[in-house]
Amino acid sequence: MISSEFDTIAAISTPLGEGGIGIIRISGKDAIPIVSKIFHSPRGVKLSDVKSHTIHYGFIIDPKTGQKIDEVLVTVMRAPNTYTREDVVEINCHAGYVTLKKILDLVVCLGARLAEPGEFTKRAFLRGRIDLSQAESVIDLIRAKTEQAQKIALEHLSGKLSEKINELRDSLMRVCAHVEAYIDFPEEDIDGLTHEQIQSEINRIKEEIKRLIEGYEEGKIYREGLRAAIVGKPNVGKSSLLNALLMKDRAIVTEIPGTTRDIIEEYINIKGMPLKIVDTAGIREAHDLVEAEGIKRSLRAVELAELILLVLDSSRPIDSLDEEIINKVIHRKVIVVINKKDIKSKEFQLPETLKDKPAVEISALKGDGIQQLKELIFNTTISGKYEQEGVIVTKLRHKVALENAIEALENALKSFEKKEPLEITAMFLREALSFLGQIVGVVTTEEILNLIFSEFCIGK
Ligand code: GDP
């Protein structure tokens, strides 16, 4: 059977596993008739007759065998005021996998199709309830790791980014209309923008798009988190630092060098910025196989990290092993964490090569300086673009579209300044418009949609 966007679709919308309740969501024109066939109300309620947005108590019964499957609450929501703008029925049942699966099977037997990942949200987009950038933010809302990330995702879902993009599109459309008017009526004295005004308006739009692009690095960090690796030779206090940052005993701390054999990954929240922190085994020659594996992995973690927290032990002078590690990370974004300040030795000297790196003295053991370290991590990463602009780009797809729009605008300006035929300027302006349109989804392809919605979970 070829699936179509008009099929009635169904999925388990809650995470699988034991829980209080599980929800099966059904959307489409047959949602109410299908559930009517398996829903039995002790008070004789007929779902086909109930008002929209009402909830009903009853049982799910297999119509073939008459077997009672679960005691449920069924919510009926009629189009168009629903998530998908279609009729939606949600069956709230007990969350065991067997129950959920049985009910889903019944619904499918009666004509619904299993929903693809993100298909409910895709329908919300296709039926025009939300635009593409709003639809995309649904997944960010689900995955948000800090309140700040959640706030940004919710703003995008409410259309804050779309508003900004649409404003830019409107301005660009006006410029385009003026340019095209000059093409159509070259001889006439059009009551429109002068050539200088057209030029400055294109420049203004270009600058605004540039500012959005500049915010991307920060936006991406709020959305995906910043990957940081804690690096240093054995016994400098890496695990202790991780514990101090997490404020709970997650990693095993021991006094035997080289015991952090596995990589431990955790998110911590620094003023709304999710920091994905990786504690690594000390980088050094391996003494046994397990440790060798740990070291291999930690080198990989260092490679992938966007920020290195280089830990040095200030109770001892720097030695050749420290130097070796410093050399491995010196060209990366590094914060120097000078640990064990409570037992700092006079012989400890910060190496010259690290003098221009941001540094902080701490005692991981006593929790001293941890707040300063967090501030330093935040300040070296977050430039305040979101605070300044009030809207921020968080997705690579959007950033690429904005960059393409800038390129098209630059081409438009060049052709305009060179006094090439206005048709060429107009063509580049249209191109820029189309790139902006890709963000909100007025210009889109099936391929882009599939790519976006395949990232979603089933049932959303
Ligand atoms: P790792 O091998 O780098 O992960 O180091 P650990 O976190 O396991 O710490 C090694 C030893 O140093 C442990 O005995 C810790 O208690 C001790 N240590 C860690 N941080 C400090 C600190 O700030 N001050 C003092 N005095 N000892 C510390």
Task: Report angle CA 409, 411, 415 to the nearest 5 degrees.
Answer: 120
pLDDT reported for residue 281: 47
9-115 has which CATH code? 3.30.1360.120
Residue 85 is classified by DSSP as S
Phi, psi of 312, deg, nearest 5? -120, 150
Atom of ligand 1 nearest to the CA of 364: 23
pLDDT reported for residue 92: 97
**In this structure, are residues 243 and 202 in contact, taking their beta carbons and an 8 Å threshold?**
no
pLDDT reported for residue 16: 81
**In this structure, are residues 156 and 223 in contact, taking their beta carbons and an 8 Å threshold?**
no
Q: Which residues contact 396 (CB under 8 A, 6 or more apart)?
A: 216, 220
pLDDT reported for residue 30: 97
254 annotated among ligand-binding-site residues: yes
Domain borders along the chain are 9-115, 134-215+391-440, 223-381
- Whole-number Å distance, alpha carbon 364 to ligand 1 midpoint, is 7
pLDDT reported for residue 250: 45
Q: Is the dihedral angle over the CA atoms 196, 202, 208, 211 positive or is it negative?
A: negative
Task: Compute the distance between CA of residue 258 and CA of residue 244 in angstroms, rounded to an integer.
Answer: 19
- Whole-number Å distance, alpha carbon 57 to ligand 1 midpoint, is 59
- Whole-number Å distance, alpha carbon 375 to ligand 1 midpoint, is 22
Atom of ligand 1 nearest to the CA of 242: 7
What are the Cα distances from residue 299, in Å, to 7, 280, 370? 50, 8, 25
215 annotated among ligand-binding-site residues: no
Task: Compute the distance between CA of residue 180 and CA of residue 199 in angstroms, rounded to an integer.
Answer: 14
What are the Cα distances from residue 393, in Å, to 139, 202, 248, 312, 404? 15, 21, 33, 36, 15
224 annotated among ligand-binding-site residues: no
Q: Which residues contact 10 (CB under 8 A, 6 or more apart)?
A: 24, 25, 26, 27, 104, 107, 108, 112, 113, 114, 115
For the chain, what is the radius of gyration of the CA atoms? 29
**In this structure, are residues 278 and 227 in contact, taking their beta carbons and an 8 Å threshold?**
yes
CATH architecture of 223-381: 3-Layer(aba) Sandwich (3.40)
The pTM of this model reads 0.78
Domain 134-215+391-440 identical in fold to domain 223-381: no
Residue 367 is classified by DSSP as T
Instruction: Name all residues whose Cβ lies below 6 A of ligand 1.
Output: 232, 234-240, 253-255, 260, 282, 339-340, 342-343, 363-365
pLDDT reported for residue 181: 84
Low-confidence residues of the chain, pLDDT below 70?
Answer: 1-2, 186-192, 248-265, 279-298
pLDDT reported for residue 263: 53
134-215+391-440 has which CATH code? 1.20.120.430
